[in-house]
Every structure is written in C-alpha cells, then in structure tokens.
Chains A and B, each alone.
Chain A
C-alpha cells in the first residue's frame, strides 16, 4: 500500500471537516475522491500532503508518516493545489526551475526535463513569458507540469481540471494516465465531476460531510446502489439534499474564526 489512512479526523473548533475516515491506495492506482463541495476532500488532501496536521488518526505516505517524517513524505509526492501555486512574476521556465531546485533535481537532467514537460503541456514556445500574462488554463497546465517535474511516486491533484475546457481537461488526463502507466505513478485526485471520476479513476471513494460513504470501482458502486450510471448511484448514496451551502458557510465561518 502506498497510501494508508486509518481513522483520520480533522476538526476546526467544533466543526468536523473529516470524520474518522480509513482507506488505502495501491501503488500504481488512480483513486478519485468524489464528493460535493465542503465534503472534506481538500482537507483530506491537505493532511496527506503535510499542509495540515490531523486532529487524530494515522497516515502513511510511501511508508512515511507525513506528520513526523515531513521531508521524506514530501519527496514522495507531487501536488497540484486547488488554487494555482505558480509565481506570477516569473516566467514559465523560471517557475519550473524554481521547483526543480526546491525538489533537488540533479543539475544535468533539469533542463531537459523542464523542456520535455513544457513541450507536453504545450507551453514550450511561451516558456520565457511571465506567467502573469497566461490564461487560467495555461496556468493550470503549468501547475500540473510542475507537479510532475520531480517524477513523484504519488501525484496529488486537488480539483485539477476545475474551470478548464474539455479539450484541456482531456489533454491533461491523457498525460496523467500515460505517466501513471509508464512509471506506475499513483494518482490521488479530488473532484466533484462525476464523469471525471468515472472516466479516469480505477477506484472511487465517495465522501460526504467528512465521512466515507462508499469505496469501489465505478461498476461496483453502481451495483451497490442498484443504478446503471454513476451519477444516479452518487445521488442515491449521498442523498439528493443540497447541503453545500451549509457546508460552505461552515467553512467561511471557520476561516474567519481561525484568523
């Protein structure tokens, strides 16, 4: 198991964002964390990637506990955050170089790897342009290229294709799947697009209000819910009540509270 999570909980004050969840991910697998807004997807990914400290529970990333062995765990994964994490005032190439140095890529291979990845995300011809001038989709592609640069064993993607057009979305997934197959890179991604989970993931974890509701392959989930498409199965399993406003409100309140 490359990711192992046992009884993981995260509380912000009285608000339980992630409620005692357990799951594991096999090496080379593509796993989708599917859930409505405010379900606890991002909080989970933040705990797995050393951004947030869990309130309780155990995590193992590539054999390391990210709370204690932060740097070892950090070497094992790449992450594409929900919001872009590129430096607007640097060029695409400089952003990649910064990442290469931060992750200790050997000097000899840096330039070639950066060039290859920029070529793949079709930004090579604009590598010397300051990122400020890029569109949202271009920035997203750069984010993903950055996340892949140090060939991580695990790639975390937090809502990777949100706000992207279908062409870009397809293109990005093509590359992620290719890397996944060629290098046995494990992929953990969160999404609220059902079709993205169904199309790209080997297994899907459905999470709602901080709790895991179901885990399985898309066809298993459909069978479990007795529905013939994943969208109906998802609604069957999570209920059809729109609760995201409340969840979002809670998050807002928490944000203010933490300031």
Chain B
C-alpha cells in the first residue's frame, strides 16, 4: 500500500512543482468556454435550447481531464529518458503496484485540473443548482481520469521516444474530444456520426457530468457509470499487460 501511496504522492508533488504547465494547460479550456460559450451562445438560445455555456461546461471539464490524463503517459517516457524509470523497475515491488500508484496520481492531478476549470466557469457565469453536486461530479471525473491515464500509460509503455507518443496521442485525442458529446448534443445526428460518438467512452463521461451538473442526461446515469467502469477495467487490464512488458533498459 505504501508503495502505491509514495508513487501517488510523487505525481502530486511533480504537479505542484510545475506551475507553468498547470497554468498553460488551462488556457485551452478557458478559450473554449469563452469563444464557443459566448460565440455559439446566441444561436443555441435562438434554437430554443437554452444556455450554451451551461451545456458546454461539463464537456470542457471532461476534455481538460482527458488531455491531462492521457499526457500522464508522457511522464513515463520522461522517466525513461531521465533514468528514473529504471530505479522503479529494478526495485523489489510488483509492476502492478507501480503502475497503479502512478495512474492514481495522474488521475488525481487530472481531476484537480477539471475542478479548476469548473471554478473558472463560475467566473464566466456558470452556476450549480446545488453545490453538493460537486461530490458525485468528482466521482465521474475520477472515472474519466483513471480510464484515460491508463490509456496513456499503456501507450507510453510501448513507446521509447516522446515524438512517437505525441504522434499517436494527437491522432487519438482530438477525435476523442470532437467526436464525443462534449460540444454537441447527441440528437438529430447522421447515423454514422452518432455511432462513432456512442462508441467513444468520453461521451459517457460527458453525459454523466452533464446529468449531474446541469440535469441534462441522454443515456441515464446508471448506464453511464456502468460503461465508464467497464472501460476503466478493460484499460486497466490492457495497461497492466503493456506496463509489465517494459524492459528496464
């Protein structure tokens, strides 16, 4: 247990110490909320759909968590290049614990980023009906974060250089965000787009967050939870496999 804790703590400390990265990574979500929220807001309203910013906030939170989680995998490649990965891999502890600790740490910092975005949205005028809703929202954020930290870790375990990782992630991250329900509602869409969005795990994270934060839900919260949890388990199995295959050299 203590091994998991110390590796979790390490990720937290690294996060705290990289203030530039933290602030830098908040620019994009803020831009999305301001530009899209206010830009598309009037059209959305005219179509009789209500407040677009409100609709957008859960999506942007999910997007922020996705970015920050997947890039937790990047840390593994940095650790490989700086030699610290070896230190962990020759220690007499199981690989599963190492991976678990790291991913929990990565997921925690990703959720933290998500919460900062939520705070920023308050400045832009977003309001919650009840502030206790933040607690179930954090649970959903953790599930999203854990799923994508595992995905990033699994990918990074197979990569030796940063360029390769970034290439794959870029091919993955943007479609995951734009072909999800983060910015659009899942109705009246062409069949094939709908199918892709339904196959995208992020859609269920967004749907659950939207359900909790603004009471707008398509699939039902229980269904969202089940899918998210299954995705976490599948990614956990896959990431453990790839992480156990890393050669320390």
Q: Which residues of A contact B247 (CB under 8 A)?
A: 51-52
Q: Could you tell me which residues of chain B, from 81 to 107, have a CB within 8 Å of some CB in chain A?
A: 82-84, 86-93
Q: How far is the CA of A90 from the CA of B248 in the complex (A)?
A: 21
Q: Which residues of A contact B18 (CB under 8 A)?
A: 89
Q: How far is the CA of A98 from the CA of B161 in the complex (A)?
A: 25
Inter-subunit contact A99/B92 (CB<8 Å): no
Closest A residue to B89 using CB positions: A51
B10 contacts the other chain (Cβ, under 8 Å)? yes
Q: How far is the CA of A50 from the CA of B89 in the complex (A)?
A: 9
Inter-subunit contact B91/A74 (CB<8 Å): yes
Of B14, B93, B248, the residue contacting A102 (CB under 8 A) is B93
Q: Which residues of A contact B93 (CB under 8 A)?
A: 71, 102, 104
Q: Which residues of A contact B174 (CB under 8 A)?
A: none
Knowing A102-B91, A103-B91, A259-B160, the reply to whether A89 touches B14 (Cβ < 8 A) is yes
Q: Which residues of B contact A79 (CB under 8 A)?
A: 90
Inter-subunit contact B90/A52 (CB<8 Å): no
B3 contacts the other chain (Cβ, under 8 Å)? yes
Q: Which residues of A contact B19 (CB under 8 A)?
A: none
Of B3, B13, B79, B92, the residue contacting A71 (CB under 8 A) is B92
Interface size class of A (residues with CB under 8 A): 20 to 34
Q: Which residues of B contact A88 (CB under 8 A)?
A: 82, 84
State how many angstroms separate the Cβ of A134 from the closest Cβ of chain B: 13
Q: Which residues of B contact A70 (CB under 8 A)?
A: 92
Chain B binding surface SS class: helix
State how many angstroms separate the Cβ of A88 from the closest Cβ of chain B: 6
Q: How far is the CA of A51 from the CA of B161 in the complex (A)?
A: 19
Q: Which residues of B contact A52 (CB under 8 A)?
A: 247-249
Q: Which residues of A contact B88 (CB under 8 A)?
A: 102
Q: How far is the CA of A75 from the CA of B93 in the complex (A)?
A: 10
Inter-subunit contact B13/A89 (CB<8 Å): yes
Of B82, B92, B249, the residue contacting A51 (CB under 8 A) is B249
Of B2, B84, B86, the residue contacting A101 (CB under 8 A) is B2
B6 contacts the other chain (Cβ, under 8 Å)? yes
Inter-subunit contact B92/A103 (CB<8 Å): yes
Q: How far is the CA of A94 from the CA of B12 in the complex (A)?
A: 13
A49 contacts the other chain (Cβ, under 8 Å)? yes
B17 contacts the other chain (Cβ, under 8 Å)? yes
Q: Could you tell me which residues of chain B, from 60 to 116, have a CB within 8 Å of some CB in chain A?
A: 79, 82-84, 86-93
Q: Which residues of B contact A87 (CB under 8 A)?
A: 10, 79, 82, 84, 87
State how many angstroms separate the Cβ of B159 from the closest Cβ of chain A: 10
State how many angstroms separate the Cβ of B245 from the closest Cβ of chain A: 12
Inter-subunit contact B13/A94 (CB<8 Å): yes
Inter-subunit contact A90/B13 (CB<8 Å): yes
Inter-subunit contact A90/B10 (CB<8 Å): yes
Inter-subunit contact B249/A99 (CB<8 Å): no
A97 contacts the other chain (Cβ, under 8 Å)? yes
A130 contacts the other chain (Cβ, under 8 Å)? yes
Inter-subunit contact A85/B86 (CB<8 Å): yes
Of B2, B14, B90, the residue contacting A49 (CB under 8 A) is B90
Closest B residue to A74 using CB positions: B92
Of A72, A75, A101, A146, the residue contacting B3 (CB under 8 A) is A101
Inter-subunit contact A46/B249 (CB<8 Å): yes
State how many angstroms separate the Cβ of B74 from the closest Cβ of chain A: 14
Q: Which residues of B contact A83 (CB under 8 A)?
A: 83
Q: How far is the CA of A102 from the CA of B249 in the complex (A)?
A: 19
Inter-subunit contact A86/B84 (CB<8 Å): yes
Q: Which residues of B contact A130 (CB under 8 A)?
A: 17
Q: Identify 15 residue pairs between A and B in the complex whose beta-carbon atoms are under 8 Å apart, listed by A's number.
A: A50-B248, A51-B248, A71-B93, A81-B86, A83-B83, A85-B84, A87-B84, A88-B82, A89-B17, A89-B18, A94-B10, A102-B92, A104-B92, A146-B87, A259-B161
Q: Report the 8 A-B pairs with minimum CB-CB distance, sorted nearest first.
A: A102-B91, A74-B92, A85-B87, A85-B83, A71-B92, A51-B248, A101-B6, A83-B83
* Extra inter-chain contacts (16) besides given A52-B247, A71-B92, A72-B92, CB under 8 Å: A51-B249, A52-B249, A81-B83, A83-B83, A85-B84, A86-B84, A86-B87, A87-B84, A89-B13, A89-B14, A89-B17, A89-B18, A101-B2, A101-B3, A104-B93, A259-B161
